[in-house]
Structure formats: C-alpha cells, structure tokens
Amino acid sequence: MSAELWNSAARVLEINWQDDHMVPSRRLYPHQWSWDAAFIAVGLAYVNPTRAWRDLRSLFEAQWPDGRVPHIVFDPATAEADYFPGPSFWGVPAYANRPPNGSTGIVQPPLHAVAAWEVYRRASAHGAACVQQAYGELEWLYPRLVAQQEYLTTRRDLGGAGLAGIVHPWESGLDNSPSWDAAMANVPADMTLLSTFRRRDLDVADASHRPTDRDYARYVGLVLSYRAEEYSDTDLLSRHMFAVECPSFNSILGAAELALAQIAAVLGLAAESDKHRDRAQRITGAIVKHLWNPETRTFHARDVRTGTLSPAHCVSGLMPLMLPDLPAEQVEGILAEARSERFGLPDETGLPVPSYDRTAPDFDTQRYWRGPVWINVNWLLRRGLLIHGRRDEAEDLRAAMVRLVHRNGHFEYFHPKNGEGLGAPTFSWTAALALDLLADRSVPAYAKAG
C-alpha cells in the first residue's frame, strides 16, 4: 500500500508544479496559497527539496514591506476569469519591486517557519550539497519569517491581548468554519455584491460543498472594507466589522516561534533563539487566558469587537495541543474533547477528526469546514499528540489518515462518515502530507517526555 500511495502522492506534486510554485489544485485554485505552501513544502522535501525551497522563496518574495505574507500570490499567467476573487478585485497597489495586483492583502496562518525547519531537517537524507542549500535557504528566510511574526504580533494585535487577530474568515485557512458564525452575524450581507462580482467557485465545484451565497456576500463585503484603506491596520476596529482571535491561527503563531528558536540556534543566533522561546510561552499564556472556556473545557474563537467566545466546538479548538507549554488542565481538556463523540479520535470512528462537532445540529457532511475531514488540521493534531507524549493515539491518527487517502485519493477534504473524497481531486497538501505521514515517525524536538 505504501509504495502505491507514495507514487500517487509524488505524481500529484509533479502535476501541480507551475514554474516557481505549487498550485493547491489546477482547476479550483490556480495560484499560490500561503499556508498551502507550508504544508506542501513539508512533503515536497522528500521528493524534490529544491522545489520545496523554491515554493517558500517565491511566496516570501511577495512579502509586503510591513511584513505580511499575502494569502494568495497571483500567477500573472492565469487569466483574471479563472479565479474569483482575482487580482483586480483585490486591487493591491505595487509594492517593493512587484507590479500592482500581484497578491491579496490578507494573510493566512504563519506555518512557514515550521515548514522551513522540517525541510531543513530532511536535507541530510539527500547528502551534503542539500544540507548546504538548506542552510543558505534558512539564512534567507529567517529575517523574513521574523518580520511576518512581528507584523502579526504588533499590527494585528487588535484586541491588545498579545494574540493575532484575523480580519477575514479566509485568514484562518478554515474559511467557512462555524467558528465565525457569531461574529459574521454582525457583518452586513449585501446580496447585490454577488451580481456585481460573480462567484467562480460554483463553476468548478458542487454548490452543496461550498459556502452559501449569503456568507459569500459577507466575505466579499469584508474584502471591500479592508481594501478601502489599502489594507491598513490602523484603527481597524473602528471601521471594520470582523476581528477575531482564532485558537488555531494563534497556536500556529506560537509553534512558529518554537521553530524559529530552532532555526536561530542552527544559524548561531543563541540570544535570538531564547527570545523566540519566550515569545512562544507568552503566546501560549495569552491563548489560555483569552480563548479557553472553563465550562466547555476547550478553546474557542473570540470576537474582539464584543469580547465574547464563539459557542461552536470546532477543530481549531484542538490546535493549542501543538504548544508544549500548554498547562495540564488544557491538555486534558483538549484530549477529552478530541476523544468525545464530538470529534471521536480514530479508535471510535476509524476516521481522522472532522472539522466540526459531529453532535451539532448544523454538522454538515458536505460543506467545507462545517463537518468534512481535512488532512492538514489532522496532521497538526497528530503533531500535538506527539508533543504531549500521546504516541499511541498519534499513531492511530497517522494510520487513519494514511488509510483514508489511500482508499479515496488525494482529495481536498473527505466525507466525515464514509470517507468519500470531496472538493478538488488532486490536492497538493493532501498529497504532500501523505508523503510525510508515510516517511516520518519522529517526535518534534521540543516534545514533552512521553
């Protein structure tokens, strides 16, 4: 089984390579996406490390002068009509040496430091020249990764809690998650926007798998609101209707500091390395203080505008497990939530965890991020289990992911009851992470003793 899966995964990464970057999938997502590039690099490192670095580099070549890394870097060779919302809708002005309309103005979770560290770790398997290349790439990336963290922890600390706020659901990477429903209810849905700007996702995907028109009108309205001041974050709360602290986004922010601590140590920057570790601790503390609900005993998204926690139980609430300094009470809370019938770790269902609470009345087996299983968040959860010494459960989850992808293909996401593949069929991060799940059983360096 593993040779077959390995070869099919490697083939997906071959098919989806475009000049200097990987597309998530040819038809649905014909540009470069930020956190996709991170997940992709982790797996691409096994079969083509040069391309793994190239993908990360081309993404960071599009970094804005303020440090933000755009959630999409547009491929100028792709027609405007092939993706909505496309380059001219975002209307990003020229920056650095890049032409106008080159990217979006929002971000995605900063997983790239984790990815860079993982690609570096795998270099030794490819020989000395590859290690040397990896070292050079880390040197190039390090200051850029630091600038990304600085942007997110200063300009995006919208609530003053020491956490990064997202200003659009798409910034979470968990685009249509019920985590945003409460905060989105305050965002006006101007349905006329959908006649001005036609959705393109419905031409290439089944409507029952995609967000509703009402949600889409809100998504478009939020982009227009952020775009109105050229994506400035100054005084954003007074003029922008969506600002949320997401547990998954902020856990990745913390994990990035831990990866930066390792990268800084390799680059001989010992003092910097300590600072990154301190920052990871501070972020962990802020997540616990602001996003933990002692009654539900799990983490929830917080609406910065109202100070309230979302009532929804989503997979994002499990992600703080990635942080080694998470206190025992929260570790136990997450494990109980993950094992409960809401998420059911694989010994219950044989499947990886779904994106949303299986027991919720609006659990949806088709619509993306509102029920289906995604490999990327399960990969992060497995990492969390390893970090907290839960090796048996980590192994069950690994086996469940491998089984799911082997049986059903490299789909974007999967039906949470029967495992059927949904969304885009040859999806890059599913393939890349399948390679990693087949190849790597090691435990992250900063794991707690199991």
- Residues annotated as part of the active site: 175, 412
**Contact of 380 with 398, CB cutoff 8 Å:** no
Is the CB of 175 or the CB of 395 nearer to ligand GLC? 175
CB-closest chain residue to ligand GLC: 24
Tell me the three state secondary structure of residue 299: strand
Is the CB of 173 or the CB of 371 nearer to ligand GLC? 173
Four-residue CA torsion sign, 425, 426, 428, 429 = positive
**Contact of 29 with 83, CB cutoff 8 Å:** yes
Which value, to the nearest 10 degrees, does the dihedral of the CA atoms of residues 328, 331, 334, 338 take? -120
Q: Which two tokens stand for residue 151?
A: 């942007």
Query: 106 to each of 109, 111, 159, 166, 302, how far by Cα in Å?
Result: 11, 15, 18, 9, 19
Is the CB of 108 or the CB of 262 nearer to ligand GLC? 108
**Contact of 343 with 384, CB cutoff 8 Å:** no
| CA–CA dist 90, 167 (Å, integer) | 15
**Contact of 280 with 337, CB cutoff 8 Å:** no
Is the CB of 145 or the CB of 432 nearer to ligand GLC? 432
Instruction: Provide the minimum distance between the beta carbon of 26 and ligand GLC in the complex, in angstroms, as a whole number.
Output: 12
3-state secondary structure 157-212: CCCCCCCCCECCHHHHCCCCCHHHHHHHCCCCCCCCHHHHCCCCHHHHCCHHHCCC
Tell me the three state secondary structure of residue 244: strand
At 120, which amino acid appears? Y
53, HSE (Cβ side, Cα atoms, 13 Å): 20
Work out the angle at residue 232's Cα, subtended by the Cα atoms of residues 231 and 235, and round it to the nearest 5 degrees: 130
Contacts with ligand GLC, residue ranges (CB under 6 A): 24, 29, 33, 35-36, 173, 175
Is the CB of 175 or the CB of 272 nearer to ligand GLC? 175
Comparing C-alpha atoms, which of 62, 75, 53 is closest to residue 120? Answer: 53
Instruction: Provide the minimum distance between the beta carbon of 22 and ligand GLC in the complex, in angstroms, as a whole number.
Output: 10
For the chain, what's the residue count? 450
Is the CB of 64 or the CB of 219 nearer to ligand GLC? 219
Is the CB of 153 or the CB of 430 nearer to ligand GLC? 430
Q: Where do the H-state alpha helices sit in 267-327?
A: 270-291
Phi and psi (nearest 5°) for 230? 50, 40
H-run or E-run covering 114: helix 112-122
Instruction: Provide the minimum distance between the beta carbon of 29 and ligand GLC in the complex, in angstroms, as a whole number.
Output: 5
Q: Where do the H-state alpha helices sit in 317-425?
A: 328-339, 346-349, 375-387, 391-408
Is the CB of 176 or the CB of 284 nearer to ligand GLC? 176
Instruction: Provide the minimum distance between the beta carbon of 283 and ligand GLC in the complex, in angstroms, as a whole number.
Output: 21
Instruction: Provide the minimum distance between the beta carbon of 21 and ligand GLC in the complex, in angstroms, as a whole number.
Output: 12
Instruction: Provide the minimum distance between the beta carbon of 175 and ligand GLC in the complex, in angstroms, as a whole number.
Output: 4
Instruction: Provide the minimum distance between the beta carbon of 433 and ligand GLC in the complex, in angstroms, as a whole number.
Output: 13
Instruction: Provide the minimum distance between the beta carbon of 311 and ligand GLC in the complex, in angstroms, as a whole number.
Output: 22
Is the CB of 24 or the CB of 247 nearer to ligand GLC? 24
Instruction: Provide the minimum distance between the beta carbon of 413 and ligand GLC in the complex, in angstroms, as a whole number.
Output: 9
Beta bridge pairs of residue 422: 413
